[in-house]
Each structure stands twice: as C-alpha cells, then as structure tokens.
Structure 1
C-alpha cells in the first residue's frame, strides 16, 4: 500500500518517534485482562481483522476497527466492545488527556498479547487509514526483556506508562523475557482537524 500511495503525507501532529504520555491507573483493566480464558484469546485471535504476517504469534482481541484500509473516519464496534468499554474508556481517557481534543475518536482499539520468545518483525503501518490517527500503547503486563524499536531507537515501556509511537517508520518488537507482554493498543484522532488534501482523491480512486 505504501508503494501505491507514496505521496500521502502523515498527520503533522503525530510523533516522529515516541511521545511519553505519563502514568495512568490500569489496575481495573489489568484485573479484567488477567481473567480472560485462553480459549477466548484463541477464538478472538482467529476472528480478528488485523491478520498480518509480521505479527507472528502475537494474539489480539479487537474491540473497535476501521471499516476499510483507506479511511480512519469510519469505524465500527466489534462484539466485545459493549462489555469492555466501561473498563477500557477510563484508561484511554487518561492516556489522551494532554491532547485536549474536544471531539476525539478511537477508530481502533485492541489488546495485543506477545508470548515469551515472540517477535513482531520490522514493518511500517502502511495503509492510508493509519497515517492520520495517533498510535498509542498502554503496557498492561510486561517485563524488561520486551524491547521495541520506534523512531530509530530501542525502548522498554513499563506497565502503566502510556506512550504514542511512530507507526509510520520502521518498527519491531521482541520479547526475550519470562512472561507474555500484553498491551492495550488504540488509535486516536481529532474529529475537528481538517482532513488531508489527499483523502478525497484517494477515496474516489478506490483501493489500488
């Protein structure tokens, strides 16, 4: 997709590397995540819409997702959102408090579970719908052996410290520690921000 649309500029508000968003209260969400049965992880992962080879053995539970790869402005709730939103929304609200958007929208929301020894290979989030929203991670369970490359530097993100990451540059993750890594990952954008000039011509042209 990136080769097909090389001229699509990124949202200038997005971080070019890593933006630290500060500590947040994740206790209730951690407890809920610890209670998820293995068969639920397996079933949700099998049905997820984000099936990309670079993710290897990382499993996901997807609560919200974009309707298509071109446009972040149209998204939908998946089956688990209604029962999980009461524990997810307070965490997301804390993470984005400093953006100060009057009409912030969360087009994608998911849990990502990387096993011990797991790897996410170097890649960029190339679809056009990923070029505008902020990409935010909230580590829920992790260990010092989890290393991620964003913005050309290696990082360790501790539990309860929200970060925005640059998903448009090459990035990878590896877990060499003694436990699974589970992050809440979501996108966020300002509905009052003008759309980029390239969006409407892209939508008229359709997928390449």
Structure 2
C-alpha cells in the first residue's frame, strides 16, 4: 500500500518523489520465480537505433498486440497482457497508485530489466501515449550505482519509492551496480502534475 502521507523531495520540473514504502518484495520474488516473462515482446528493444536495446521488459498493459505496427503508439485503449494474470502482486500496487494520484484512466504498464553494466541511452518519448499519460516509476530492485538521469539531476531511488517523471525531457539510465535494475513503470492520466509540466514548457 502507498502511505497516505508521502515523502516529497525537492520540487523539480522533470521528476518528483511522491511516495515511499510501497510493498514490492512479493512482486520482485514473483519475477525472480518467472524469468520467462521477460523478453516475450521485443519491439521496444529491437527497433532500429532503439535507446532501450540493452534492456528486456515485460509488457503488462498497452495497445493490443494485434495492432503492432507503425501506428502502435497512436491513440488507443490499453488492454491487459497475459503477464498480468501471472503477476497478481501487481494489482494492489497499480490501483493503489491510481487512487493516490487521483487517476482518471490507466494506460501502459511495463516492467523493465537492465543488466549490470547496461544502460538506456538518452532520449525523449514522443508519441500520443507519452504525451497523454503521466509516467510513474517504482523501483523493484535498484542497487547502488543504478541511476535515472534527468537534466536537473539524478533519481537515486530505493525499492518501494515512487516518482512521477516527465518523459518529454531527455532522460536516460545507467546501471553501474552489480545486479539487474528492475523497475515498474505505470502510465496514468491525472491532472495532479500539470504545474510541474508547465514549469518545463515555460522555461
């Protein structure tokens, strides 16, 4: 559960620490017991010159895979992928977060894994889904040396933290730890972070 009183870091235009203490141990244990779920869908990593080519992921929720093609990230209603049924530990985390941020609509849900020494290259997410939804990052495993980089600074996260982040600015990840960096990304339509995005647009 997300605590009713979240701990907030310094206000920044690109990211904001919005909660701490989310129970992620059961989900991480489930992922360790089901490694076959990673890498079933490779479109994000295998696209030409993809910034995500060093990672594998689990598609939990997004556009119907039957629509995979050049317009895959255009406007759509997200659907659950089979991985959701295999990971019931996700339900309280996702819908607890929806309630915490007064979510109006649930979009994509991804679990990403970057191996030790891996990285996600600097990039900006540009598509309807990226513009429409706000993104929330919950680290499941994030050992010292795994950093999420933004223009204003780095997210130095602990498992069970939650950060809102603006994927409309250049961002990247380096995993200089000795273990996989495993993260949950949840996309939610909410008006709670309009002011933070406005800071960036007005700069």
Shift of 1:57: 1.7
Question: What is the rounded CA distance, in whole Å, between the counterparts of 1:187 and 1:120 in structure 2?
Answer: 19
Q: Which aligned pairs between 1:3-22 and structure 2 lie closer than 5 A?
A: 16-22=13-19
TM-score (norm 2): 0.75
1:30 is aligned to 2:32 = no
Question: What is the rounded CA distance, in whole Å, between the counterparts of 2:155 and 2:129 in structure 1?
Answer: 25
Shift of 1:49: 4.1
Q: Which aligned pairs between 1:128-143 and structure 2 lie closer than 5 A?
A: 128-143=128-143
1:60 is aligned to 2:57 = yes
1:93 is aligned to 2:95 = yes
1:62-113 per-residue CA deviation (whole Å, 9 max, x = no partner) reads 1111353221x512222222232x3112012333433224xx3322111100
Question: What is the rounded CA distance, in whole Å, between the counterparts of 1:143 and 1:98 in structure 2?
Answer: 26
Shift of 1:170: 0.2
Number of the residue aligned with 2:125: 125
Question: What is the rounded CA distance, in whole Å, between the counterparts of 1:49 and 1:136 in structure 2?
Answer: 21
Question: What is the rounded CA distance, in whole Å, between the counterparts of 1:151 and 1:16 in structure 2?
Answer: 9
State the SS of the aligned residue for 1:138: strand
Of the structure 1 ranges 120-129 and 150-159, higher mean CA displacement relative to structure 2 is found in: 150-159
Detail structure 1 runs of 4+ shifted over 4 Å in the superposition: none
Number of the residue aligned with 2:201: none
Number of the residue aligned with 1:47: 41
Q: Is the 8 A contact 2:134 2:190 kept in 1?
A: no
Q: Is the 8 A contact 1:48 1:62 kept in 2?
A: no
1:74 is aligned to 2:77 = yes
Structure 2: which 5+ residue stretches go unaligned? 1-11, 65-71, 192-203
Shift of 1:60: 0.3
1:33-73 per-residue CA deviation (whole Å, 9 max, x = no partner) reads 22123xx14xx4142443341112210011111353221x5
Shift of 1:117: 0.3
Structure 1: which 5+ residue stretches go unaligned? 1-14, 192-208
State the aligned residue count: 169
Change (3 A) 1:175 1:28: same
What do you get for the CA RMSD once the two structures are aligned?
Answer: 2.1
